[in-house]
Structure 1
Amino acid sequence: MSHAACVVAILTVSSDQARELELELVRCIVASRAEEGCQRYVISRDQDHGGRFTAEERWASTEAFEQHLETPHFRSLAALLDRLDASVQLMKVTPLDEISDAI
């Protein structure tokens, strides 16, 4: 049995690069939400730091998440992050609501 894969990422670029990254993130949102294993894909922009974004993702399985990493839209985003020399913090998480449901 495969478990859901939950990921939170913090992406940071300089404020003058934020618009370029935002446009690519929007393209990635649309394409990622259409993927079969995508259960949640929300990207938000930090209101206090113009160049910081958060991504919250939930995939049906680890395999679905790994397939997402190979898609053209994600590879395009990854290439832009590299070109912009973005800071990327990635966390694989377990939502506490899943634990509390078992109590």
Structure 2
Amino acid sequence: MSQELIIVARIEAKSEQIGLVKGELLKLLVPTRKEEGCLQYDLHQDNENPAVFLFYERWESRELWQVHMNSAHLAEYLKATEDAVALFAVNEMSKV
């Protein structure tokens, strides 16, 4: 049995692209939450720096998260924000 996977993804938009990035991130919520293995998929925006977004995600397994990472809606997001993101960092984590 696979261990539950926690994902913390930090996205920092370029200052002039905050609205675009936020809009595209919001589009990911509904389709991702419907994906097999998605237990939680929450988007947050920093109160002090509105260019910083954070996803907190819980997946049944790393394998099912990988299916998400190859999804059409994620590919569309990446294409739409190609020149709008200054930083993208993903941490795969396990609860201790």
Q: Same fold (TM over 0.5)?
A: yes
1:42 matched to 2:45:
no
Identity of counterpart residues, as a percentage? 26
Q: Which residue of 1 aligns with 2:5?
A: 5
Specify the structure having the higher radius of gyration (Cα).
Answer: 1
> What TM-score comes out, normalization by structure 2 length?
0.90
Larger RCO: 1 or 2 (CA < 8 Å, sep 6+) = 2
> What TM-score comes out, normalization by structure 1 length?
0.85
Shift of 1:22: 0.7
User: What is the count of residue pairs matched by the alignment?
Assistant: 96
Shift of 1:16: 1.9
Structure with the largest fraction of helix: 1
CA distance in 2, matches of 1:80, 1:5: 27
Q: Which residue of 1 aligns with 2:74?
A: 74
Stretches of structure 1 lacking an aligned partner (at least 5 in a row): none
Report the more deviating stretch, 79-88 or 40-49: 79-88
Question: 1:38-89: per-residue Cα shift (whole Å, max 9, x none)?
Answer: 0000011111111110011111111110000111111112223432243011
CA distance in 1, matches of 2:78, 2:87: 12
